Amino acid sequence: MFVGKKGLSMRHRRNVPLLAAVTAGALQAMPAVAQPLSPEAFRVMDIDGNGRIDAAEHGVAMGAAFAHADKNADGILEADEASMLSLPAQVDADGDGQVTLDEFLKSARSDFAAADEDGDGVLLP
Ligand SMILES: [Ca+2]
Ligand SMILES: [Ca+2]
Ligand SMILES: [Ca+2]
């Protein structure tokens, strides 16, 4: 039940690396995909099913992904936990090898903004 391919490789696309990696990790399915989100990932994150992902849904999905990866529920993704999500290195803002919820959500927010090309606060499929 884990992503066992050691070499899933460091290939993270630039545009929405966290969003892509997290949704992929949460689904334990496909490797990181850049935007547009895969239909599966989109469906997971579109909680109310209205065909768009708003910031609140994005936050919820990210929080859920974080909790999912945080196996020992200490609010921090240690290296092994973080690796399950294939998180881009820059998520660990202070470079201490651990990703706190704060670091995670901060990245998630900027990721959302990057993905929201027209800045209307929602992501479309
Ligand atoms: Ca929605
Ligand atoms: Ca942890
Ligand atoms: Ca850190």
The CATH number for 37's domain is 1.10.238
Arithmetic mean of pLDDT, 96-118: 91
Q: Which domain holds residue 102?
A: 10-117
Give distance in angstroms: CA of 101 to centre of ligand 1: 23
Q: Residue 112 and residue 30: Cα distance in Å, rounded? A: 20
Share of the chain above pLDDT 90, in %: 37
Decide if 123 is inside a domain.
no
Residues contacting residue 11 through CB under 8 Å, at least 6 positions apart: 31, 32
For residue 95, give the ligand nearest its CA: 3
Which of 23-27, 81-85, 99-103, 110-114 has the largest mean confidence? 99-103
Give distance in angstroms: CA of 64 to centre of ligand 3: 19
Decide if 4 is inside a domain.
no
Q: pLDDT tens digits, residue range 19-78?
A: 666 665 555 433 333 345 778 888 888 889 999 999 999 998 888 889 988 999 999 999
For residue 125, give the ligand nearest its CA: 1
What are the two backbone dihedrals, phi and then psi, of residue 76, each rounded to the nearest 5 degrees?
-135, 135
